[in-house]
Structure 1
Amino acid sequence: MIALASDTADRIDEAVEASLAALAARAALRAPHLDELVTAARRAASGGKRFRPALTIAAFDAFGGTRDDTPELWPVAAAFELLHTAFVIHDDLIDRDLERRGAPNVGGEFRQRALDRGATAQAAAELGDAAAVLAGDLLLAEAVRLVAMAPTDPDRRDSLLGILDEAVLVSAAGELADVEHAVAERPSPAAQLVATAHDKTAVYSFAAPLAAGAVLAGADDSDRAIAVSAVSSIGLAFQLVDDLIGTFGTRTQAGRAPGADLRARKQTALIAFARASAQQATVDEALERAPTGPVAVRRAQRVLQHSGARDRLVGLVGELLRDARTAASGLPVAPRDLLHALADRVQERIP
């Protein structure tokens, strides 16, 4: 979503890798099983799009920061990539997923290792779950360490740690709410599901990285608040578009089989809007059958479309992006243009 010059992308990768290499060196001095855990966590952090550190750098540049005078920029940016990887590892555990990007994730890797060594299926599952918890914890701690040890003044460090702390807290609230919605006896209202989507994604993926870049650049407090508010709306819109992609997107867009969210019975604002429509009975019947195969998925997609839920959610996305653009119009040119470009990219993702 953010185009970076190759040298900037390289420096982000170098900062992430330097942190992980230092963690691996410390682990190697302890015990082989800890070294294996850090190696798995290191693999989990490789090959990503690096959107969050890229947003930190882009915000820093947009608010007039000088890279040569701010060596702490790179470890702080890297911290948001490690935070993201930690959340992904924990999220896979919560969802009972054993793969990520077509390969075993941390839990899947340790589970298979235990099976190969003769463990029972239950024992292997317990080891895999423990490894996922601990790998995520290590990366969370490393993200905090990077910010806490960044070579900056105490006031700025306090601001950055506050941003990181808020991101962790809100994301935990969002993840817990997401699970509560999934196991609830009755479907959750759309407003609650929208709030959960915001907490799961908008803060740690959008608001926090942008705020950190603005702080490092010495941005005006008022401008920073406006930018954070605008990018939070963009982040929520991004997650709602992800829900549309998970239901209506192609295999190329979703990176998985079409209608994956329908197969998984995922509770989203889209589903809540459909259930609140005049076609509730038809919607419920179609959703109940959706996991049975591709024909049922296609029928559920048609039913959701006919209910008006898709149009309603697209309308909400448009409203959020308009609000973000309006808020950003009061900013200096460079941060305004950055936020407008992010809003445009989210708009382009709508399936």
Structure 2
Amino acid sequence: MRQLAGTQAGRAYLRSEVEGELQAIFSRSQATAEAYGPHFSRLWNLASRRVRGGKFVRPLLLLETYDALRRSADSIPNSRSTSQPRGAHARSEVVRIAAAVEALHFAFLLHDDVIDGDFFRRGRPNLIGELAEASRDEARPGGARHWAQTGGILSGNLLLSCAHQVFARAKLPAELKLRLLDVLEHTVFETTAGEFIDVGLSDGVFSADLGTVLEMTGRKTASYTFELPLRAAVILADGSRALENKLSAAGLHLGLAYQLQDDLNSTFGDASVHGKDLYSDLREGKQTAIICFARMSGSWPLIESDFGNPDMSIEAAKYLSDCLRDCGAEDFVRGLIREQVEAFSLVLCAPDSEESVPRTVQDVLFGLLARIDGRQS
């Protein structure tokens, strides 16, 4: 893999490793699912197919960072630096953890879709939407929706359990396994708290100030999308806690930039490219940094009347989007993204740090930043 590191072919190979492990994870429980009848077996198969159809941002980040740490260690004979990995573990265990991270991601997606009442993702029915469509003729009025959302909650629960099982059964030294489990527990708490705050903001329970919105974003998105894979990679490569903490800090800044860009795409982007329902954030009343800025502008009275209206027309939503752009909200959030990118770069390259990030890892993360910067989907 060394000659393919960081290339499109290299990422395709890593993706195939994760897909194979996910297939193995679901196959091991297939007989158990079948024992509970055809409907439950179909739910398990549907979840399996959906998990394996994602972008794999998180497991690929874990594997690329782990491989970069291993290359760095191999290039420094007899190195005693505390930031350098000390040993190696079976590749299969690393891939299995990476697959579990993707299962965790899909569990969060399922629960998020239920909370938001979403039946589509990237222009196609999501798991909940597919279940609802399949049961529409048999169920009582309203029953298909309730049954499908129940399936989403229960599938998410199963995948959360699956991720914990993989982490707990990893063939690793006890100290490393406990570190991994601590990171997993922290991630679940952080993401759950972030989702709770997100809904509280949208429902008006919490004050929608910029600090609260950014705190929510860090917990809901950055924690499990970037911090978890980076911290897990360091642990699996026997890296120091100091290096783990440093990459965790870098992951927070990268995650905030990633989500802020996602907010821009949803409000100002092309739905045929980013795949979300057109202007869904405006219809759902999502309290983003865009909206925080708009509240302080003279354009807010023009936006407030329709913001959060689930029945808002495309024309009205387009008008809101134009108002948000004209009042400076788009430029403001682009400035926030630049701030996070600068902070991210500083963490990675600070010359006075006791724990320098290996150049191989810097290459991985700056390469990821280049793919994220200005992304449309």
TM-score by length of 2: 0.85
Q: Give runs of aligned pairs for residues 277-288 of structure 1, distance below 5 A.
A: 277-285=297-305, 287=307
Using the TM superposition, name which of 287-296 and 12-21 deviates more. Answer: 287-296
Counterpart in the other structure of 2:260: 240
Match of 1:275 among 280, 290, 295: 295
Q: How far off its partner does 1:185 sit?
A: 6.4
Q: Give runs of aligned pairs for residues 92-107 of structure 1, distance below 5 A.
A: 92-107=113-128
Task: Give secondary structure in 1 for the equivalent of 2:170.
Answer: coil
Deviation per residue, 1:233-283 (Å, 9 max, x gap):
101110111001000112343224653322333221111111112333233
Whole-Å separation in 2 of the counterparts to 1:28 and 1:147: 25
Using the TM superposition, name which of 233-242 and 271-280 deviates more. Answer: 271-280
Match of 1:25 among 28, 31, 35: 31
Q: Give runs of aligned pairs for residues 311-322 of structure 1, distance below 5 A.
A: 311-322=331-342
Larger helix fraction of residues = 1
Whole-Å separation in 2 of the counterparts to 1:340 and 1:288: 36
Alignment check: 8 A CA contact 2:187 2:228 kept: yes
Counterpart in the other structure of 1:157: 177
The structure-2 alpha-carbon separation of the partners of 1:67 and 1:240, relative to structure 1 and needing over 3 Å to count, comes to same
Using the TM superposition, name which of 187-196 and 98-107 deviates more. Answer: 98-107
Match of 2:374 among 339, 345, 348: 348
Alignment check: 8 A CA contact 2:306 2:312 kept: no
Task: Give secondary structure in 1 for the equivalent of 2:212.
Answer: helix
Q: Does 1:86 align with 2:90?
A: no
The structure-2 alpha-carbon separation of the partners of 1:68 and 1:195, relative to structure 1 and needing over 3 Å to count, comes to closer
Question: Which AA in structure 1 matches 2:359?
Answer: V
Whole-Å separation in 1 of the counterparts to 2:128 and 2:310: 28
Counterpart in the other structure of 1:135: 155
Question: Which AA in structure 2 matches 1:71?
Answer: S
Match of 1:194 among 214, 221, 228: 214
Q: Does 1:331 align with 2:337?
A: no
Whole-Å separation in 2 of the counterparts to 1:30 and 1:145: 21
Counterpart in the other structure of 2:146: 126
The structure-2 alpha-carbon separation of the partners of 1:209 and 1:309, relative to structure 1 and needing over 3 Å to count, comes to same
The structure-2 alpha-carbon separation of the partners of 1:173 and 1:334, relative to structure 1 and needing over 3 Å to count, comes to same
Match of 1:47 among 48, 53, 58: 53
Counterpart in the other structure of 2:189: 169
Match of 2:12 among 6, 20, 41: 6
Q: Does 1:225 align with 2:245?
A: yes
Q: Which runs of 5+ in 1 are unaligned?
A: none
Deviation per residue, 1:49-106 (Å, 9 max, x gap):
1111101101101212687744310110000010011111111111111233444333
Number of aligned residue pairs: 350
The structure-2 alpha-carbon separation of the partners of 1:101 and 1:46, relative to structure 1 and needing over 3 Å to count, comes to farther
Whole-Å separation in 2 of the counterparts to 1:290 and 1:162: 39
Percent identity over paired residues: 31
Q: How far off its partner does 1:286 sit?
A: 6.3
TM-score by length of 1: 0.91
Counterpart in the other structure of 2:236: 216
CA RMSD of aligned residues (A): 2.4
Alignment check: 8 A CA contact 1:245 1:253 kept: no
The structure-2 alpha-carbon separation of the partners of 1:298 and 1:106, relative to structure 1 and needing over 3 Å to count, comes to closer
Question: Which AA in structure 1 matches 2:234?
Answer: A
Counterpart in the other structure of 1:37: 43
Deviation per residue, 1:104-129 (Å, 9 max, x gap):
33333333343322x21233333222
Q: Which runs of 5+ in 2 are unaligned?
A: 1-5, 72-86, 350-355
